[in-house]
Amino acid sequence: MEKSIRTKLWRILIFLGLAWLYLALASSETIALAAQRLLGQNISLYNTSLVLILIVLSAVILLINLYSYSIFREVRYLLFTVLAMLLTTMYSLQLLERVERVISSPFSEIVLTQLNLIITIGMLIILVVKLFLVRRDIYSKLPLSQVPILLLTVAALLIILYFVMRNGVTFNNQWILGVLFLLIFSNFLGYLIKYVADSDRNAESILFVGIIHLATFVYPPFGDHQSEYIHLLANGLRVLSIAFMSHAFYKHLFRSYLGHMMEIDREREAYTTNLEELVEERTQELMVFNQTLEEEIDSAKELQKSMMPARDISYRGVSFISENVACDKMSGDFFDIYDIDEHRVGMYILDVSGHGINAALMNIYCYHYIRSTSPLVKRYLGDKPSRNLLHLYEEFNKMGFPDEMHIVLLIAAYDMRSKRLTYCSGGLNGEPLVVHRSGEISRLNQSSGFPIIKMGSFFQPEYVDASIDLGPGDRIIFYTDGLVDERQPFDMMEEDLIELMLSFANQPLSELHEAIMNRIEPFRSELVDDVSFFIMEVGE
């Protein structure tokens, strides 16, 4: 530890020694005369070349920090980018001063001197901000595409400042110099402590640049006429210090990038090493989740089935047999058979768009609506199914269901005293078939209402009731389109269904049901749509 501190102190002494060497050489008239005889008229050209090198090196520092900001997005790199731009501007102004000595230019030496002072103060303020406020890695939200705008804004402010000073506005040089030396002292002390305590290479390079520039600023005093020999000495040392700084920034970028890549490699290696364990762990989690989901779906399936009527139902004057076969875990088809009062039986069958859980949830909504104890619903349950459909349409449009979801259904009520069936269709896509005891075939097609769909803001449908008188032994099969869908693997069309109904007209309902299921059962796992139906038979 002590050896490291001694090394750092030796480096600082070397920096101070170079500054002292400059002061000694600059104040020696003998050496100045010897240099002028040796270099002759080329000394001015050498000076101009050194200034150009300074501009290039400061631009390199700007690009290094801009690239660092593009990778790490840290505020310190953004501050150093602005600092490097100001440094480049200051050296460019020195080049303009040299040009002014050769050709006529609009740049006043006094204005350029004051502008140099303002730029120097700006750089020192940035260094103080970096030293005291940006002590940790702080990430900036400024997009990379906006950085050029920031730099152009700084340039625009400098141009405005130049024109203000050119128009005769001057600053109190004593006040400026007081602020300048206060900032120099703060930066020198702060970066000295930072370098010794943290071994920060950037702090070391800033110290070196600061010491050299302070020495060249102090002697001869800033703004006094300087010989080409003194300019040569100053610019030579400045090139050395700026080259040292650019090298320090480059090494810092290289180390940071290398550390960043090594960290990524370590993470990748750790991930690769543990990949098999991670995959196994995730697989187990997915299996547990899938098992839980399957159990929940099975529970929902049982709940849905519990809401459906029993397969065989008998009333005093009518009997039913029914079946529901889902192509998925849960069915999008639903039906219900229930007693309205002592003499009437209600029934409905519906098909929700799609199938699965969403469709099953819609079934539950319809079930609770139609089975509602609301006086409005109960009032028209047996006499006017059309009013129930209209009310369902209106309530459906008030809900927040997806726009693409819709329901097709048919609601009916059978009066066992008059043997009259009253029904209303809400766009059911399979017309119930009526097989009379006489063998005559008819359909419940006198009501073809509008589906329950999200169009309440644009359209108000009209639902119309229809009725049919039935006799003893008459049968009606209510079904969804999955029973006669040509895409289904069991290949049953409406003609096949009629043939089965006629073939088993004199057989019990259970045998007709079995005959239909015998066509479906071998293909249960291959269904493309849900299959639902129930058969009603009028008693004597």
Q: Is residue 253 part of a domain?
A: no
**Confidence (pTM):** 0.51
- Between 150-154, 366-370, 407-411, the lowest mean confidence (pLDDT) is in 366-370
SS3 539: coil
Read off the pLDDT band of 100 (50, 70, 90). low
Residues 299 and 415 in one domain: no
Which among 287, 307, 327 is the end of a domain? 307
- Answer whether residue 267 is part of any domain: no
Based on the fold, state whether residues 183 and 241 are members of the same structural domain. Answer: yes
Query: In this structure, are 292 and 354 located in the same domain?
Result: no
| Residue 269 domain flag | no
Structural domain contains residue 92: yes
Please report the sign of the dihedral spanned by the C-alpha atoms of residue 305, residue 306, residue 308, residue 311: positive
Identify whether 387 is part of a domain: yes
Which pLDDT score is estimated for 417? 92
Q: Give the list of residues 6+ apart from residue 398 with CB closer than 8 angstroms, or none.
A: 456
Helix axes 75-102, 147-166, angle to 10 degrees: 40
Residue 125 near residue 179 (C-beta atoms within 8 A):
no
Work out how many domains the chain is built from and give that number.
Answer: 3
User: Domain check: are 468 and 338 in the same one?
Assistant: yes
The answer to whether residues 298 and 386 belong to one domain is no
Looking at residue 42, what DSSP letter applies?
G
Tell me the pLDDT of the chain averaged across its residues. Answer: 85
More confident residue, 441 or 355: 441
Tell whether the torsion through CA atoms of 370, 373, 379 and 381 is positive or negative.
positive
Q: Which two tokens stand for residue 209?
A: 């640049």
Which CATH number do you get for residue 130?
1.20.1070
Residues 76 and 200 in one domain: yes
Residue 255 lies in a domain: no
Domain range for 510: 308-538
Q: What is the greatest pairwise CA distance in the chain? A: 140
pLDDT tens-digit readout, 47-98: 899 999 999 999 999 999 999 898 888 899 999 999 999 999 999 988 887 7
The answer to whether 401 touches 441, Cβ cutoff 8 Å, is: no
Strands (E) in 111-156, as ranges, are: none
Report whether 533 contacts 323 (CB < 8 A): yes
pLDDT in tens, 385-400: 888 888 888 888 888 7
Question: What is the rounded average pLDDT of the residues 24-53?
Answer: 87
Split at pLDDT 50, 70, 90, the class of 223 is very low
Cα 270 to Cα 257, 262, 273, 276, 505, distances in angstroms: 20, 12, 5, 11, 74
Does the residue 139 lie in any domain? yes
Q: 385 and 366 in one domain?
A: yes
Same domain, 293 and 237: no
Residues 483-503 have pLDDT tens digits of 999 899 998 999 999 999 999
Q: What is the mean pLDDT of residues 117-129?
A: 91
- Are 363 and 478 part of one and the same domain? yes
- Residue at 377 is within a domain: yes
pLDDT in tens, 458-487: 888 999 999 999 999 999 999 999 999 989
